[in-house]
Structure 1
Amino acid sequence: MSSQSVDARNGDVGHINTRQSNKEQAPSMAMDVNVQHVLEALPEPIYLTDASGRITFYNSAAVKMWGVRPEIGKSEFCGSWKLYWPDGTPLPHDECPMALALKEGRSNRGMEAIAERPDGTRIPFMAFPTPLFDADGTLSGAVNMLVDLTERIDLDEAAQRFAAIVQSSDDAILAKDLNGIINSWNGGAERLFGYTATEAIGKPVTMLIPLDRHNEETDILGRIRRGERIDHYETIRRRKDGSLVEISLSVSPIRNREGRVIGASKIARDITERRRAEEQQHLLIREMDHRVKNLFTLASSVVALSARSASTPAELAGAVRERLSALAQAHALTVPSTSEATGRTERATMLHRLIGTILAPYDNCADDRQPRAIIAGPDIPIGGAAVTSFALLLHEFATNAAKYGALSNSEGVVDISCQEDADRFILTWTERGGPPVDRRTDGDGFGTVLGKATVRSQLGGEIVRDWKPEGLSIRLVVARDRLGGQ
């Protein structure tokens, strides 16, 4: 029986060369055909060569990897179009793993290389060439199995990308087993909690949890064991230095290949700044609500005060217009100016001007009468946040005086005394001529709370109210270095 080979043009699968000289060789031939069928059915690329390296057989999986059908009995060592080492340098066919195995007469398994198809596609693979010897120990050929590494390399690259993302994340990302022992720790966790990976890995995650919250970990592990995910759970954790930090915590189960839960991954995000922003937002909303209500009250007071001295509707309209305009001017002093080049910039003004602007709407006296507000003492520049702080305080003083105190009738007067004392500045607000005072405490209204918070946190001072029978007296002490004037 003649030998059979592959025609590269018609795509027939090549067969192991066989010879049959008599009937006794028929069973051997049948066995060879069965082997060919087995090799053809295998999903991995497999090919055989003779002792000189010429290819004598290859299966369909090899053709799929190579993208070409080598010529049986002529193509040598490997059927690929071109070969490269893993670093991309060219690999001659006579130096490939199969060639080395034949030259050395021993298995040369696990070497990696890259096969290039005619269309330019490159396939990384691992080779497992094994020399074949006959009964006399003479080298008769070799068999090689190729393992496509594309998927593994893709997975490795994906894992490396994922690891890089995890390590560079600003969020704290860590993993633990089902006993709560930390087994991975990224840079974000080190920055948030203060422990290095060496200090954290192998330690119980409870080292991050305040004593009064240890029950949280028990609940979390219980839910993880049931395969549940925990999203954006807000809690408190303890840093290495003992300080507490508010975090948003997400916890997900980690499963093995069989789908069994073997641990948990945690992502912790510092929400301290968000909390502060929320608190500031709530304060601003309350302030806005308070200011809007005060504006209505103030507008009503302006109209009522103006009506007492106005003899005609035109005079009343003019007086109200002028006083509301003065309020708008006072508001303008508290708003920072903007510039396209520099963004927000601070606005500075003189304290006496600010006081006069804030109180102008209430100064409804005739030309022959003294002003409703009398300012005495040194004038000083103020800028930055101090402008807003003083404007809010003075506006609060004036609004309350218009509601309940000296500015609520036409006879009342406010004396404002300014005094410098080393590193402090003292402003004294004294009301007289108003209705009898029957209020004895600061109370807990928004104006009082805002006043104390503003003076202490922004102006570094204190505020004291004295409810005298003849009128309210307010003593405001602030730090000079907080006034921001140049």
Structure 2
Amino acid sequence: MTSSPGIRDANSASPNEVGERNVVGATALAIAPCDPKELLALIVESSQDAIISKTINGIITSWNRGAEQLFGYRAEEVVGKPITILIPQDRLDEEPAILAKLRAGLTVDHFDTIRRRKDGSLIDISLTISPIRDSDGTIVGASKIARDVSSRKREEERQRLLLGEMHHRVKNLFALTSGLITMASKSAASPAELADSMRQRLSALAAAHDLTLPSLDDPQGRDESATLHQLLEKVVAPYQEESWQRISLAGPDFPVAQAHTTKVALLFHELATNAAKYGALSVHEGRVTITTKAVDDQVNIAWEETGGPAIAKQNTSTGFGTRLIDSIVRGFPATVSREWGAYGLCVTFEIAVRTLQPEKAVTELEGDSAS
């Protein structure tokens, strides 16, 4: 099959000559009519899409500059060779089906597939294949137009991941909300009290959820895990005073896996709510210190109230807040201990590092310790 002028094949001009001819051709277009075949050749050669022709038996006969950029081969490296050099082993069955359609005179229109570059890397492409006929109408070959769709594929995959994550989160939040309503309804004195307590707890969940939402503007679609300090600051913010911090944070920060952010938020929302009703945050002088530290392979989080109302004796009641905290602790799993001092409550949680933190963060910590 004879290649059209301007399309690179084994006997075509050098890249420099092609570039010079394109400049001359472009200039000629501006001042005089151009031969249609020459114009078509110039269009093909300057296209950013890969445009390839092959025989009806799948042998490459021409190769434009777009194909060179997409696949990494120069024209002289591929012309005369089978098109299957571009097809991964697990997709070789596509070519017989394509050739069968071409021999029947059919166009293979826009399908997504994967092809292999010269360096062995794989690339997502959109492929259109059309039969080439001679002057007698006999099918003598095919033209292939390939377009790099890697960016679109990455975006589609990112959207699938985001939708999957949001579906998972919504299901979890509905289940958690249902459990909260069931537990709260057993201890609420009135519908108004139930509504108020649920409103506060849902606000805490919303704050934790907002911290860990993946950014829709992030091209990499990273899942941003919240840190322990970020979560605690968000949850206790409604109980702080403008002029001073009634609740202070001390100790190292730790990443928190997305699956545990709502649990952490609810734990410390319950402690803050109880402190505001009965403990240190119910009086002006009261303070709370939240201290974090790492002990072996455990993360230790201590909630310590000071300056609160005098406590006559240790509180052994099992109200809703206590049952909720114990339920969350079992869900991690973690351990909890409570101590009632004369002027405040101290609650300590111990959670395994591997439980609290995302897998990536744990891996990084192990790498740091090894070095």
Same fold (TM over 0.5): yes
Alignment match, 2:104: 226
SS at match of 1:234: strand
- How many angstroms apart in 2 are the aligned matches of 1:283 and 1:336? 10
Deviates more, 1:201-210 or 1:304-313: 304-313
Q: What does 1:125-136 correspond to in 2, within 5 Å? A: none
SS at match of 1:322: helix
- The AA in structure 1 aligned to 2:110 is H
- The AA in structure 1 aligned to 2:261 is H
- Count the aligned residue pairs: 264
- How many angstroms apart in 1 are the aligned matches of 2:45 and 2:301? 59
Alignment match, 1:245: 123
For 2:175, which of 286, 294, 297 is the aligned residue?
Answer: 297
Identity in percent? 45
**If the length of structure 2 is used for normalisation, what is the TM-score?**
0.56
For 1:353, which of 230, 239, 249 is the aligned residue?
Answer: 230
Alignment match, 2:200: 322
Q: What does 1:21-40 correspond to in 2, within 5 Å? A: none
Alignment match, 1:394: 260
Q: What does 1:229-378 correspond to in 2, within 5 Å? A: 229-334=107-212, 351-355=228-232, 357=234, 377-378=251-252
- How many angstroms apart in 2 are the aligned matches of 1:264 and 1:244? 23
The answer to whether the 8 A contact 1:323-1:360 is kept is: no
- How many angstroms apart in 2 are the aligned matches of 1:187 and 1:392? 47
For 1:476, which of 357, 362, 371 is the aligned residue?
Answer: 357
The answer to whether the 8 A contact 1:358-1:395 is kept is: no
The answer to whether the 8 A contact 2:88-2:116 is kept is: yes
Per the TM alignment, residue 375 of structure 1 is displaced from its structure 2 partner at its CA by: 8.0
- Seen in structure 2, the aligned counterparts of structure 1 residues 216 and 329 have a Cα distance that, compared at 3 Å, is closer
- How many angstroms apart in 1 are the aligned matches of 2:205 and 2:93? 56
1:115-152 Cα distance to aligned partner (Å, 9 max, x none)? xxxxxxx9x9xxxxxxxxxxxxxxxxxxxxxxxxxxxx
1:92-113 Cα distance to aligned partner (Å, 9 max, x none)? xxxxxxxxxxxxxxxxxxxxxx
- Seen in structure 2, the aligned counterparts of structure 1 residues 393 and 251 have a Cα distance that, compared at 3 Å, is same
* Unpaired stretches in structure 1, ≥5 consecutive residues: 1-121, 125-152, 340-346, 364-370, 381-385, 440-464, 481-486
Per the TM alignment, residue 247 of structure 1 is displaced from its structure 2 partner at its CA by: 2.4
The answer to whether the 8 A contact 1:181-1:204 is kept is: yes
Q: What does 1:43-58 correspond to in 2, within 5 Å? A: none
Alignment match, 1:16: none
Per the TM alignment, residue 303 of structure 1 is displaced from its structure 2 partner at its CA by: 2.5
Q: What does 1:23-102 correspond to in 2, within 5 Å? A: none
1:316-351 Cα distance to aligned partner (Å, 9 max, x none)? 222112222223333443469999xxxxxxx99974
- Seen in structure 2, the aligned counterparts of structure 1 residues 246 and 166 have a Cα distance that, compared at 3 Å, is same
- Seen in structure 2, the aligned counterparts of structure 1 residues 237 and 304 have a Cα distance that, compared at 3 Å, is same
Q: Which has the higher contact order (CA 8 A, sep 6+)?
A: 2
- How many angstroms apart in 1 are the aligned matches of 2:92 and 2:210? 53
**Greater helix share, 1 or 2?**
2
Per the TM alignment, residue 248 of structure 1 is displaced from its structure 2 partner at its CA by: 2.4
Per the TM alignment, residue 206 of structure 1 is displaced from its structure 2 partner at its CA by: 1.8
- Seen in structure 2, the aligned counterparts of structure 1 residues 215 and 321 have a Cα distance that, compared at 3 Å, is closer
- How many angstroms apart in 1 are the aligned matches of 2:64 and 2:298? 53
- Seen in structure 2, the aligned counterparts of structure 1 residues 356 and 310 have a Cα distance that, compared at 3 Å, is farther
For 1:216, which of 82, 94, 99 is the aligned residue?
Answer: 94
- How many angstroms apart in 2 are the aligned matches of 1:186 and 1:166? 7
- Seen in structure 2, the aligned counterparts of structure 1 residues 310 and 201 have a Cα distance that, compared at 3 Å, is same
The answer to whether the 8 A contact 2:52-2:67 is kept is: yes
Q: What does 1:141-152 correspond to in 2, within 5 Å? A: none
- How many angstroms apart in 2 are the aligned matches of 1:248 and 1:196? 21
- How many angstroms apart in 1 are the aligned matches of 2:74 and 2:83? 14
- Seen in structure 2, the aligned counterparts of structure 1 residues 214 and 350 have a Cα distance that, compared at 3 Å, is closer
Per the TM alignment, residue 274 of structure 1 is displaced from its structure 2 partner at its CA by: 2.6
- The AA in structure 2 aligned to 1:237 is R
SS at match of 2:357: strand
Per the TM alignment, residue 230 of structure 1 is displaced from its structure 2 partner at its CA by: 0.8
The answer to whether the 8 A contact 1:427-1:476 is kept is: no
Larger Rg: 1
1:188-241 Cα distance to aligned partner (Å, 9 max, x none)? 211221101222222221211234433432332232122111112333322111
Per the TM alignment, residue 264 of structure 1 is displaced from its structure 2 partner at its CA by: 0.4
